Amino acid sequence: MSNGVQRTTIEKLLKISETQDAAIIEKLAKEEFGDLFQELVESGILTHFKILKSVEVFDGDCEFFADIQRRDGKNMYFSAADGWVAVNDEDINLYQVNFEWLLRRVMDALDIADRHTPKVILEGKIWALGQHRIEKQNTNILVVRDMKSGVVLDALKNYLKIHHKSSNPALVIALDQNLPDHLELPNQNQLGRLNEAIKWDKDDFELNTFLLAGKMGGSISQDGFSGGFRSLVVNGKQYQFTKKQAEAVEFLYNAGGARHQDEILAEINSTQSKLLQVFRSRGKTNQAWGEVIKNDGKGNYRLEL
């Protein structure tokens, strides 16, 4: 479902959300969003967070952080070479992503009614959206960010262990664009990244609900790769790839034909000597191997979709 929000706007907000405070310096935000920046601020999508108390300074061959002080109505720092130097406000004003707004857009894309309000599990990090229907399947939905943080991951796992056992699992949607490989959730809870479910062929922000339903064992009817090649649906069957595996798959897809494993390994900067090793983890081979990824027995590999 489209909610009238540009896909590129959501992409850029997700990029900012990767930082610990989900914040960006005003100057960089203006470069990132252009003329849209002021509109985002006025509408509360980006909110003023704080003013930096120090600034990184390059003074000749030296690099250091200098404290900012107010002098003559200006923000300034002291340099041994140049004395007191004025700092542009754009370089020290931080703006933060409004997650209430972002979560509402995700809920709109999932066709969740406005009367529902996310429950905060961990401030600014974990939210429970409740149980809603995704492709005719009742699904418990959580949204999380900063999963590389041990505090966040522990809080998420503890919540799932208490509230979502195997008989009542949840779909956890991560705002993180990259997650640690082999990350596992307790019980039968399933993990998906928001950016892999975004419909990249649309100008407006829309989600592939068929893909999300498939993560919970529901019906998947739309074949194809997700953005970033981290997942694939073929004839209703879903395959998942690690970041390095996705790079290999993307290379083969763009190649349009067979390529030797040495060429593939070089392209993805892998230290492995065999392509099979890239697609093996913890003693298990990726399901796509032999089903989607085919070879001629001479070291040449291709995709069969």
pLDDT digit string, tens, across residues 245-274: 999 999 999 888 999 999 999 999 999 999
State residue 298's pLDDT score.
Answer: 94
State the average pLDDT over residues 91-115: 94
pTM of the model: 0.68
Distant-in-sequence, close-in-space partners of 252: CB < 8 Å, separation ≥ 6: 259, 264, 293, 301, 302, 303
Judged by average pLDDT, the poorest of 87-91, 97-101, 190-194, 203-207 is 87-91
Q: Residue 151's pLDDT band (boundaries 50, 70, 90)?
A: very high
Higher pLDDT, 193 or 62: 193
Percent of the residues in the chain that have a pLDDT greater than 90, as a whole number? 59
Q: Residue 153's pLDDT band (boundaries 50, 70, 90)?
A: very high
State residue 178's pLDDT score.
Answer: 82
Question: Where do the domains of the chain lie?
Answer: 7-97, 99-219, 243-303
User: What Cα–Cα distance (Å) separates residue 288 from each residue in 237, 263, 292, 293?
Assistant: 10, 20, 5, 6
pLDDT tens digits for range 189-246: 999 999 989 998 889 999 999 889 888 876 555 677 876 788 888 877 888 898 899 9
Q: CA-CA distance, 104 to 126, in Å (whole number)? A: 14
Q: Which amino acid is at 186?
A: P
State the average pLDDT over residues 129-153: 92
